[in-house]
Structure 1
Amino acid sequence: MSQNEYATAGDGYLTEDRVMIRDSAREFCANEIRPLADKLDPEKGEIPDALIEKMAELGYFGIMVPEEYGGLGLGVFEYCMVAEEFSRGWMSVASLLTRGNGIFFNKGFNHDPARKKEYLERVATGRFLSAFALSEPNTGSDLSSIACRAHRDGDDWVINGAKYWCTFADRADSIVVFARTSPPPSADKRHLGISAFVVEKPRGELPAECFGAPIPKIGYFGWKTYELSFQGTRVPHSALLGEEGKAFYIMASGLESARAHTAARSIGLAQAALDDAIAYAGERRQFGQPIAEFQAIRFKIATMATKVEAARQMMYDVCNKIDSGRRCDTEASMVKYFASEISEEVTSEAMQILGGAGYTTLHAVERHWRDARLTKIFEGTSEIQQRIISDNLLGRSQSDRRIVEDAYSRKFE
Structure 2
Amino acid sequence: MTELTEEQRLIQESARTFTREVVRPLADKLDPVKGEIPRELIEQMAELGYFGILIPEEYGGLGLGALEYCLVAEELARGWMSVASMIARGNALIGSLKAMTPEQKSVYLPRMAQGDFLGAFSLSEPDAGSDVANISCRAKRVGDEWEITGNKYWCTFADGADFIMVFARTGAEVDPKARHKGISAFMVEKPRGQLPQGVSGSPIPKIGYFGWTTWELALDKCRVPAANLIGEEGKGFYLATAGLETARAHTAARSIGLAQAGLDDAIAYSKERRQFGQQIASFQAIRFKIASMATEIEAARALMYSVCSKIDSGVRCDKEASMVKLFASEMSERVTSEALQVLGGGGYTTLNQVERHWRDARLTKIFEGTSEIQMRIISDHLLGRG
Q: TM-score range by the shorter chain?
A: over 0.9
Cα distance, 1:103 vs structure 2: 2.7
User: In structure 2, how many angstroms separate the alpha carbons of the residues matched to 1:29 and 1:375?
Assistant: 20
Counterpart for residue 6 of structure 1: none
Q: Residues 185, 138 of structure 1: CA spacing in aligned structure 2 closer, same or farther, 3 A cutoff?
A: closer
User: In structure 2, how many angstroms separate the alpha carbons of the residues matched to 1:320 and 1:253?
Assistant: 17
| Counterpart pick for 2:224 among 226, 231, 235 | 235
| Counterpart pick for 2:360 among 361, 365, 371 | 371
Deviations 1:241-298 (A, max 9, x none): 1100001111111000000000000000000000100010011000010000000001
Cα distance, 1:102 vs structure 2: 4.4
Please tell me whether the aligned partners of residues 105 and 241 of structure 1 are also in contact (alpha carbons under 8 angstroms): no
Counterpart for residue 272 of structure 2: 283
Q: Secondary structure at the match of 2:87?
A: helix
Counterpart for residue 151 of structure 2: 162
**1:388 and 2:377 correspond:** yes
TM-score, normalising length: structure 1: 0.92
Task: Spell out the pairing of 1:80-229 with structure 2 (5 A cutoff).
Answer: 80-104=70-94, 106-107=96-97, 109-110=99-100, 112-183=101-172, 186-229=175-218
| Counterpart pick for 2:343 among 354, 375, 385 | 354
Q: Secondary structure at the match of 2:120?
A: strand
Please tell me whether the aligned partners of residues 318 and 328 of structure 1 are also in contact (alpha carbons under 8 angstroms): yes
Structure 1 moving runs of 4+ over 3 Å = 183-188
Please tell me whether the aligned partners of residues 333 and 385 of structure 1 are also in contact (alpha carbons under 8 angstroms): yes
Please tell me whether the aligned partners of residues 198 and 240 of structure 1 are also in contact (alpha carbons under 8 angstroms): yes
Please tell me whether the aligned partners of residues 297 and 331 of structure 2 are also in contact (alpha carbons under 8 angstroms): yes
Cα distance, 1:219 vs structure 2: 0.2
Deviations 1:162-211 (A, max 9, x none): 00000000000000000000056744422110000000000000000100
Please tell me whether the aligned partners of residues 260 and 315 of structure 1 are also in contact (alpha carbons under 8 angstroms): yes
**1:18 and 2:2 correspond:** no
Please tell me whether the aligned partners of residues 195 and 246 of structure 1 are also in contact (alpha carbons under 8 angstroms): yes
User: In structure 1, how many angstroms separate the alpha carbons of the residues matched to 2:31 and 2:228?
Assistant: 35
Cα distance, 1:220 vs structure 2: 0.2
TM-score, normalising length: structure 2: 0.98
Give aligned-pair identity as a percent. 68
User: In structure 2, how many angstroms separate the alpha carbons of the residues matched to 1:138 and 1:104?
Assistant: 27
Cα distance, 1:57 vs structure 2: 1.1
How many positions carry a matched residue from both structures?
386
Cα distance, 1:396 vs structure 2: 3.2
**1:328 and 2:317 correspond:** yes
AA of the residue aligned to 2:167: F
**1:257 and 2:239 correspond:** no
Please tell me whether the aligned partners of residues 105 and 119 of structure 1 are also in contact (alpha carbons under 8 angstroms): no
| Counterpart pick for 1:55 among 42, 45, 52 | 45
User: In structure 2, how many angstroms separate the alpha carbons of the residues matched to 1:41 and 1:201?
Assistant: 27
Q: Secondary structure at the match of 1:158?
A: strand
Counterpart for residue 338 of structure 1: 327
User: In structure 2, how many angstroms separate the alpha carbons of the residues matched to 1:193 and 1:358?
Assistant: 49
Cα distance, 1:12 vs structure 2: 3.4
Cα distance, 1:385 vs structure 2: 0.3
